[in-house]
Structure 1
Amino acid sequence: MMLNFKGFDYVSVYTKNETNMIIPVRLQNDLLDFSTLELNTKWTDYLSNKQKGIGYDYGMAIHFR
């Protein structure tokens, strides 16, 4: 069973490193921590780790160049 609430959107966020450099783990974790950016709202949840049981409404790709 997929978890979805009417009017609520789940966004799956994918990142790709195209810088030809290693991104430190701590920086990568900070970049993917959407709680500090206040993107998650009453009606939208951004998730960088795909979770089972959630039907995602949108996908977002972030490419680091």
Structure 2
Amino acid sequence: MSRLVDGALSHDHITHWLSSTVWDPAAVWRHAKPLIRQAEARRLAEEFTVLIVDDSILEKAHTDANNLVFNH
């Protein structure tokens, strides 16, 4: 999402915004729709814009396993 708005919002800002309260799909869309429409207006008509919300955790070589992050 940060890339869609050309860095106007940082990844950390977006993460904080999403984690600050419980978001139902309608609330997320109400807040994200203006940003998505703005990004779409800057793209060619044949390009496709999506908002993907993914709560997965990627394993990194420098990250130790703990009670929250481990292989399933």
For normalisation by structure 2, the TM-score amounts to: 0.29
Choose between structure 1 and 2: higher strand proportion: 1
For normalisation by structure 1, the TM-score amounts to: 0.30
Higher relative contact order (CA 8 A, sep 6+): 1
Larger Rg: 2
Choose between structure 1 and 2: higher helix proportion: 2
